[in-house]
Chain A
Amino acid sequence: MPSPQLSNYVRSNRKRLALSQGEVAFLLGKESGADVSRHENRQRLPGLEIALAYEVVFGRPLSEIFGGIYQKAEGEVAKRARILASRTNGKRDAAKRKMLGHLAAINR
């Protein structure tokens, strides 16, 4: 069974760096720690800009900070990649071979 991850690790990363929610909010350009709290408690997903700012603040990749969400997206993309590969199987020109190679890499 694959190891399931939590949807995000904002709290553990914040605590690792001994930052308060207010301090993280300041670094993200937010007024109060309430937004950070909502992200930590999975009540709200951050927008792309804020998510990237988390990556900068914590010095860890987004796929690690939002591990569970990444894992879910990875699984769904892999599922669709298999469908796309099966649809493309009949066509064998160079471009399609390249695409199939990439789809196989996604499934690994």
Chain B
Amino acid sequence: MDNKLPTYPRILGIAPSPAGVGLAVIEGVNSLVGWDMKRVRENLNSGCMVKVEKAIDYYQPHVIVMEDGSERTSRHRTLMKRIVALARKRGVRVVVLSRKQVRGIFFSEGMGSKDALAEILAQRFPEELGAHLPKKRRTSMSEDHRTAMFEAVALALAFRPCYVRMSVVDRGPMTASRGKS
């Protein structure tokens, strides 16, 4: 694939979770064409890689966007490395955004909860995501598995505004790059 991105690239957002991996695809001027929460029961990372590979084959994205995993678990970081390697093999650019960058797109104060983010996205895509909106999480509840899907949508949506602000060096040619806010 050419290094130069189309004006409106097809963006695959990937958000790993303890239950599997959330996937979302944005195309054109922010139209959501793919959204899914892939649950994996055994061999979490290998199972997630199978799902990610299928998504890359199906949607043929120009860019893969993931959240910075430096503060996440080692399993998360290993999965990210494997996704980056796979993306390189397929000639897909990988961009890593920080949580702050992603939240900055959706919240005027720069930070907000996952519940609030999911609500914003469900309002933006009522037909696609409205039915998947998880119940508000209480302290005694574990995180709803669908939250990762909303995170993936947020990552994919955040790509364009963040990319515009990135320097040429941060954008990188075909490699994983971390944008600065």
Contact = CB atoms under 8 A, between A and B. Distances in A.
A17 B33 CA distance: 13
B4 A1 contact: yes
Contacts of A6: 10, 27, 33, 59-60
Interface of B: 4-10, 27-28, 32-35, 58-60, 127-128, 131
Contacts of B127: 16-17
Given A3-B28, A6-B59, A15 B4 contact: no
A64 to B, nearest CB: 10
Interface string A1-33: 111111001011001111000000000000000
Contacts of B58: 41
Interface of A: 1-6, 9, 11-12, 15-18, 41
Contacts of B33: 6, 9, 12
B146 to A, nearest CB: 14
A107 B7 CA distance: 20
27 contacts: A1-B4, A1-B5, A1-B6, A1-B7, A2-B6, A2-B7, A3-B7, A3-B8, A3-B9, A3-B10, A3-B28, A4-B6, A4-B10, A5-B27, A5-B28, A6-B33, A6-B59, A9-B33, A12-B32, A12-B34, A12-B128, A15-B35, A15-B128, A16-B127, A16-B128, A17-B127, A41-B58
Give the 3 A-B residue pairs with the shortest CB-CB distance, closest first.
A3-B8, A1-B6, A12-B33
Nearest to A9: B33
B129 to A, nearest CB: 10
Nearest to A40: B58
B6 A3 contact: yes
Contacts of B34: 11-12
Nearest to A1: B6
Contacts of B8: 3
B107 to A, nearest CB: 27
